[in-house]
Amino acid sequence: MSKFVVFAVLVLAAILAFGPAAHAAPRKPHIVVLGAVKRVPYSKTGDPSGAATGEDALKVRALLVDGVLKEWTTGDAHDVTDRSFVVRRVIRLNDALPTDKPGPSDKVSHWVWQRGPWLLVDRVTGRVTALRLPDYDPGVSQVSWFRDYAAYCGLTPSGKSLYAVVAQIGARKPVLAKKLAAFDAENHPDLVCAPPDWQREPLRISFHPTGSDAVSYDIVPGSAVMVEDTGDEDATPEAAPAK
């Protein structure tokens, strides 16, 4: 085989090996922002378990990815890493009965706002993921964040027991789950638990159930177990319809 043929084979192999990478389209950066705050009507009529007595408005913000509305949110966001943050979702729920007759203002008359679950938002990929926190109840759980830990009072599926819960993003089981008290679904204060308090050294969490003494637990610190995508694939969910 001549030197020319060998050289040509090597050049062709290099093109096949590096060509796709060399000509790949540059990764498109995503723009993730929380919009301006606006106030919406909110009361126990629309959110029986989540609204406090006398509460008549809720502050909400749009979560926008590349200018497209993904979700409505409420409250402060918490940076988990330098690229991911969590924020609480607020849900607009259809409150119309089957017997309700549509009218000129039907687009707004049968929709109510409710506080919902927490969202994990990745600024690099634009991905928005609903977090499934163990025993989390939107009407009871006041979440306090530290690093990738969420501390809150949780409610068991039976609705009869109140638990102190510390969950870690990406972990299947809670880091902490201790029973605090029995729970009466019919008779309970608007604020079942105040937001827990974190202490860094030693890592400790204090819970404040209403009507009971504060309870503290030491947490054995561990490394973050959440997984952030490389960003090679854009997997943002469908845009949420604006209401």
For the segment 4-21, what is each residue's pLDDT rounded down to a tens digit? 554 455 545 555 555 554
pLDDT of 242 strictly over 50: no
pLDDT at 237: 42
pLDDT at 22: 46
Give, for 176, the enclosing helix (H) or strand (E). Answer: strand 176-182
Q: Which residue has the tokens 């927490």?
A: 118
Q: Which residue has the tokens 């952030």?
A: 228
Mean pLDDT lowest among 1-5, 153-157, 214-218 = 1-5
Rounded mean pLDDT, 117-123: 97
The pLDDT-based confidence of 103 (bands split at 50, 70, 90) is low
Give, for 12, the enclosing helix (H) or strand (E). Answer: helix 3-22
Assigned token pair, 114:
């409710």
Q: Which residue has the tokens 């929709």?
A: 111
Amino acid at position 65, single letter: V
User: Which one, of 200, 159, 205, lies nearest residue 183 by Cα?
Assistant: 159
Q: State pTM to two decimals.
A: 0.80
For the segment 33-51, what is each residue's pLDDT rounded down to a tens digit? 999 999 999 999 999 989 9
Contacts (Cβ under 8 Å, ≥6 apart) of 54:
none
pLDDT of 91 strictly over 80: yes
Rounded mean pLDDT, 131-155: 96
Average pLDDT, the chain: 86
User: Which one, of 66, 101, 88, 100, lies nearest residue 139 by Cα?
Assistant: 88
State percent of the chain over pLDDT 90: 66
